[in-house]
Amino acid sequence: MKKLFSLLVVAALLTLAACGSGNDQTSPETSGSTGGGSAKATEITILMGKPEIAKEFEAAVADFSNETGVKVTIIPLAGANAFERMTSLYSSGNAPTIMMMASEFETFKDRLLDLSDQPWVETVQEGMTDFVAVDGGIYGQPVTVEAFGFIYNKGILDQAVGGDFDPAAVSTHDEFRSLLEQIDALDGASAIHVSPMDWSLGAHLSNPFFAAQSSDRDERHQFMQDMLDGNVTLSDNEVFNNWLTTFELMKEYNSVKNSPLSPQYDDGPLALASGKVGLWFMGNWAYPQLHEIDPEGEYGFLPVPVSNDASHFGNNEISVGVPSYWVIDASQSTTDQQEAANAFLNWLVSSESGQNHYVNNLNFIPVFDSITVQPEDSLSLSILSYMEGNNTLEWMNSYYPADGWASMGASMQKFLADNIDREGLIQEFENYWKNAKK
Amino acid sequence: MYNEKKLIDKLKVIGTFAFIPLFVFLVVMILPLLLGVVMTFTTWTGFSGSLLEFRGFENYLIAFSDTGFWDSMKITFKYVVLTLVLTNVIAFGLALLVTSGMKGQNFFRMGFFTPNLIGGIILGFIWQFIFTRVVVHFGEASGLTIFSYSWLADPDKAFWTLVIVGVWQSSGYMMLIYIAGLMGINKSLLEAADLDGANAWQQMIKIKVPLMIPAFTISLFLTLQRSFLVYDTNLSLTSGGPFRSTELIAMHVYNDAFLYQNFGSGQAKAFILFIIVAAIAVTQVKIMKKMEVES
């Protein structure tokens, strides 16, 4: 029996070795044949990460295919982790031609195509490509901008202040508190709904604390570096303390104060659009749901106050940023495919039908001067007005370590649920940043 | 079995029957395991062509010094012990119930088994709805404070929701194994015991349980392995929350490797977990084998 077994193992190993070398021999052939295949009509693939607009994006791609004859296949991310999906696609030699990329850019940048000679680069708004600029080259096209802050229901706030509500009138702690009190005094409405998801707290609500440290880009990035180096005592940091006071205000006037961690994401749009609360901390991606619940509703953004001084940087700004970029693979795609991919990205932002899809169907907010179609919904208009006045905060959360939002979010959830106090939160934040992966 | 004398004949038999399954086993089980272990000593990031630098035991040191890992391990052990005991007690009870000759017992068998046919993810979402909406409505209507807030918002209660759903899901399946065990007992033994005047409890302790040891071995092994590696219900029910307090070990390993991109330490943690689960499972089966008796 033992003999038999050892024989088996030897036989198996031998064949395995044979298979291995066989693979080596065939690999150049197969890669050669894919190269030859490009003589046919060009086919490109797009890895697409926004499931909420999948249908609309398919329609846009179908129009592009009809106009140019390029065959496009969409690879949906379908809830998978983007980094994992890209890694496996690359490792199997099936890298998508176009990818929607965010924090993964750092790892993949060596394999991407330099897009700086493309026509759309001329028309992109300032600062929007900072994240994907490496050594003078631009490696990604911004997909759109998104913004977050306090979304307010104008109907409720008009009632609360007894007149036409103006978001510019609320920019300090005191003004914010009196607004919350005014809403609370209304019959059947609470002041604010706080969604307790860790990404909402840890990645979004924490952003003003970093972004409002300084109006100078280098200084606030230096601040984050100092946090990593463990050189910051948060209890002495003015912006942090003031920011925490705002968080305390949110906690105090929370509509679900009795069980702050119970609400699900869907409770937010329901509470705001049905007029149960006046404010909700969230971003403009929630607009389709708000619109569905109350198509008549009017909404806008209110900045997160970070001090009691109205002129302080951050008190009149909302966080606006590019959540992801279109990038083109250069290492596994043929030249034809790369050209077709570039044609698609240019088509989307400069052709008439592309722009129509961009603004009206995909609900994107234009970051290109070439786009003449303007969005019409109240929330997008609110963002545009902040952008025009240059009243925007950088998305510092794009630069957090990979587990930054999850860890800070967990601490903030504990704070929200009275599990830890102010000192506890400061302690956990400092500990996290000191030990974070550099 | 086979009596081939010549080597070439032996090889023929092996090639015909054993080679393909053995080859598949090697390629999809053994090789990935070995590669996985090799990975834990390097800086590989799961990305072909990424830097393959030898780092010795660094990843293990990171894994061992991570308090989050041990917190997850602790809560997983608690989860395993609770589900193991509850699932098997309930499953055995159900098995006795539906073999007792009661009316409609086949219908009940089917009913208890049904939760197994629903995938873990769907099941988690259904229970999430029950815990955050149905139970809360019930609590508000009846005035019972324990039910009036979502259980998923409190670390301890969220843990118990995991236990409840886990037990609910697997006890029907284990029940089937126990039913098979009960059916396999020779009726003449029980009849003889009846004649000798043994009551139901004595029959259970002295005859049924000892003869059913193989069924217990399988059920305990399956619950042990299932509870240790549960991920789907954990993800859809609590996703580790609130504040990462219900992150069971499988989820912790996945998050570490793929969400926070620490492939090295994540893989090392996975290997540590493998060793622990394998050791416990092997010991359990060995002990149970010794307890088996023949009728």
Q: What is the ipTM of this complex?
A: 0.72
pLDDT of residue B2: 60
Q: How confident is the model at residue B87 (pLDDT cuts 50, 70, 90)?
A: very high
* Angle formed at CA A102 by CA A97 and CA A106, multiple of 5 degrees: 90
pLDDT of residue A348: 84
Yes or no: say if A153 and A273 are a contact pair by the CB < 8 Å rule.
yes
Residue with tokens 């509470």: A271
Tell me which chain A residues have a C-beta less than 8 angstroms from the C-beta of B243: 198, 409-411, 413-414, 417, 419
DSSP H or E segment with residue A153:
strand A146-153
Q: How confident is the model at residue B84 (pLDDT cuts 50, 70, 90)?
A: very high
Which burial class, exposed, middle or buried, applies to B23 when counting CB atoms under 10 A from its CB (0-12, 13-18, 19+)? Answer: middle
Q: How confident is the model at residue B50 (pLDDT cuts 50, 70, 90)?
A: low
Whose CA is closest to B254, among B241, B243, B240, B242? Answer: B240
Q: How confident is the model at residue B260 (pLDDT cuts 50, 70, 90)?
A: confident
Better pLDDT: B106 or A81: B106
Per the DSSP assignment, residues forming a β-bridge with A45 are: A73
Whose CA is closest to A96, among A168, A45, A29, A163? Answer: A45
Asked if B134 reaches chain A (Cβ–Cβ under 8 Å), the answer is no
**Mean pLDDT, residues A84-90:** 82
Query: With 70 as the cut, is the pLDDT of residue B161 above it?
Result: yes
**Mean pLDDT, residues A345-361:** 83
Q: How confident is the model at residue A29 (pLDDT cuts 50, 70, 90)?
A: very low
Yes or no: say if A368 and A326 are a contact pair by the CB < 8 Å rule.
no
Yes or no: say if A12 and B26 are a contact pair by the CB < 8 Å rule.
yes
The number of residues in chain A equals: 438
Yes or no: say if A155 and A164 are a contact pair by the CB < 8 Å rule.
no
Tell me which chain B residues have a C-beta less than 8 angstroms from the C-beta of A7: 10-11, 14
Query: With 70 as the cut, is the pLDDT of residue A9 above it?
Result: no
Yes or no: say if A322 and A128 are a contact pair by the CB < 8 Å rule.
yes
Tell me which chain B residues have a C-beta less than 8 angstroms from the C-beta of A417: 153, 242-243
- Who contacts A347 (Cβ-Cβ below 8 Å, separation ≥6)? A64, A67, A68, A354
- Global pTM exceeds 0.95: no
Rounded CA separation A275/A259 (Å): 20
pLDDT of residue A8: 58
Contact: A90, B48; criterion CB under 8 Å: yes
Q: Which of B26, B46, B260 sits opposite A12 (nearest CB)?
A: B26
Yes or no: say if B193 and B207 are a contact pair by the CB < 8 Å rule.
yes
Express each pLDDT in A406-425 by its tens digit: 888 888 988 888 888 888 88
DSSP string for residues in A7-76:
HHHHHHHHHHHHHHHHHHHHHHHHHHHHHHHTTSS-EEEEEE--GGGHHHHHHHHHHHHHHH--EEEEEE
Q: How many CB atoms lie within 10 A of CB A186?
A: 15
A157-171, B90-104, B276-290: least confident range: A157-171
A291-295, A368-372, B212-216: least confident range: A368-372
Rounded CA separation B120/B235 (Å): 9
Q: How confident is the model at residue A6 (pLDDT cuts 50, 70, 90)?
A: low
Yes or no: say if A45 and A75 are a contact pair by the CB < 8 Å rule.
yes
Rounded CA separation B247/B244 (Å): 5
Query: With 50 as the cut, is the pLDDT of residue B102 above it?
Result: yes
Query: With 60 as the cut, is the pLDDT of residue B72 above it?
Result: yes
Express each pLDDT in A371-409 by its tens digit: 888 888 888 888 888 888 878 888 888 888 878 888 888
